[in-house]
Chain A
């Protein structure tokens, strides 16, 4: 059973990650490649900005009427032949899926990539129920063989080099220790084909759930989601309640935004639009299909408009690729299924805030995440909102409490900004004090800050003083 790093200790995790040169090289490459591909895709799509606004409007509308659309989705899904289940939390969802596996009378399930099932630790629950769940997305399978957790929500094994994967496959599947990517991929195809042929249950997530037809849509590039939803006799999709969109026609704008933002493709290789099992004899596909609608802390985010926008996320991963913090420390340091900027926003809201308290602070608030987000989520504003909750003592974790020096600095700052005289006094003191900088810069705490930066010097006289002189002349 793979474990996350403790998210309460983000700082320590980040320090350790910074010492991993192999991982940092992989991250550099990934950030450069994804950034370049996304920019290339956007150059071909001059209407991208308009699409972002329109997609966000659809999400805002659905979230403001989520009870209505979720009910409509469930009614239409049942009409289409899906069995619809409701799960208030992860444990309930796991119990439901284990029950489906039991009634399907199978010990083997194949899974296509789903962050939602990672979130509820479905594989562990199934294992406890005597069902082996095999990940079939290549990246996810690599992670499962290595007994790790995903490093990125779109490319789970991005931190591993080809050499490391070749070593892993040599031990687990028997390929050569110097096998190339093509050989490794072919080995995965062969090994997983036998799983697909034998599995009695296919487990997937969904990118979108369409209220007017009771359909789900799954995007992918590999074809494993198609196999998962076609070959086993029974299929279950675990779907977060925020995935609902009103109309089939709404897919257009989301399918234009999601692949371009995530991988820089105009469209991923496959989209499966699934609307319940076939009723004609001899038809292909599962004979029985289930949907598990999962809340697990999501509805809490509806309460305030600022937190509600967290549910607009379509899990494209663009904010991870753009984030200077993620680019340095990678996915594991966050200790959450959802890393990076969006993870730092979602995790503290899904879990007790105290547990995830350091995550909203794992950002420089540079805003790169907001700039690339295809549904315009204001992640920096959300981070600030969550930081405020953390420091205002909504169950505070020690890790996020400011240091004594930090607290003192802010007290001085608050004092000197509270009136004009105080401000003049403070700048006066600073103007004198800066003559000590050549000495102070070599002493802690400034010495470390100064390793990569220069403190700009204050002008010899303030603007106000100069203005006064002008008036007198």
Chain B
């Protein structure tokens, strides 16, 4: 008897029966309040700013300039870019800086100043970005450098966490990462400090349609 069947048999015995291959359906999902469509962008911005993030507005025509301005602000010499098409286009438009990609040696990636990625979804109710590892290699670029700049198409905003979970594809990609503001800790006397292991600054560039 394998450990698995032994442990499952033990659990079933404690529940007073034999191992069961089926179960009645789980309780119905609770109804959660939503957010009106015209309030998505304002709510997203308000929530993200409240927890220490920054929101910049741009259009397809101005996004290059907005990101260039941010890179200038952070004196970013070395930039860690994801491989999303929108991010690659930015790299091509700003060749004067040193752009790294996920295939570069880890020692170089750990020394980058700013990470640039896109985001799959934005969740208005919490100011959250959702990143999908199957769409874009952004797991490290959004995490390792001290500053994270994320491009978010405002048409990709949803109201709630529940709505975002509903839109996840099946099978799920290897990693879905939810990001709400800068990395933070309060482990020393409950004093809030940002940028402990992840970025200390999060800048979302919201692309208005």
Contacts and interface: CB of A to CB of B under 8 A. Distances in A.
B188 interface: yes
30 contacts: A26-B189, A47-B32, A50-B30, A58-B26, A61-B24, A64-B15, A65-B23, A66-B11, A67-B15, A68-B21, A68-B22, A84-B4, A88-B7, A155-B186, A192-B197, A222-B183, A223-B198, A223-B199, A227-B197, A230-B140, A241-B7, A248-B165, A252-B32, A255-B161, A265-B51, A269-B182, A270-B177, A283-B137, A284-B139, A303-B14
Interface residues on B, range: 35 or more
A270 B180 contact: yes
A66 B14 CA distance: 10
Contacts of B170: 213
Given A71-B8, A197-B106, A270-B179, A185 B193 contact: yes
Interface in B91-134: 102-103, 106-107, 110, 125-126, 128, 133-134
B27 interface: yes
A410 to B, nearest CB: 34
Interface string A234-270: 0000000100001111111101100000010111111
A67 B176 contact: no
A373 to B, nearest CB: 18
Interface in A201-252: 213, 215, 221-224, 226-227, 229-231, 241, 246-252
Interface stretch (A100-108, A135-143, A390-398, A433-441): A135-143
A56 to B, nearest CB: 10
Contacts of A246: 26
Contact of B174 (A189, A277, A303): A277
Q: Which 10 A-B pairs have the closest CB atoms?
A: A223-B198, A139-B187, A223-B197, A65-B23, A271-B178, A86-B3, A302-B14, A273-B176, A275-B172, A138-B187
A189 B197 contact: yes
A97 B9 CA distance: 24
Contacts of A69: 23
Interface of B is mostly: loop
Contact of B27 (A54, A193, A283): A54
Interface stretch (A2-10, A157-165, A333-341): A157-165
B19 interface: yes
B29 A250 contact: yes
Given A185-B196, A221-B186, A283-B174, 16 more contacts: A67-B15, A68-B21, A138-B185, A155-B190, A156-B187, A181-B188, A226-B198, A249-B166, A250-B29, A270-B180, A271-B177, A273-B175, A273-B178, A283-B137, A300-B14, A303-B14
A228 to B, nearest CB: 9
A221 B183 contact: yes
B188 A250 contact: no
A30 interface: yes
A74 B4 contact: yes
A276 interface: yes
Contacts of B193: 181-182, 185
**A79, A293, A302: residue with the most chain B Cβ atoms closer than 10 Å:** A302
A160 B8 CA distance: 42
B143 A193 contact: no
A116 B143 CA distance: 26
A284 B187 CA distance: 29
A136 B197 contact: yes
A197 B178 contact: no
A149 interface: no
A51 interface: yes
**A223, A295, A299: residue with the most chain B Cβ atoms closer than 10 Å:** A223
B168 to A, nearest CB: 6
Given A54-B30, A284-B139, A295-B10, A273 B197 contact: no
A252 B168 CA distance: 13
A80 interface: yes
Nearest to A289: B174
A222 B184 contact: yes
Contact of B128 (A165, A192, A221, A267): A267
B209 interface: no
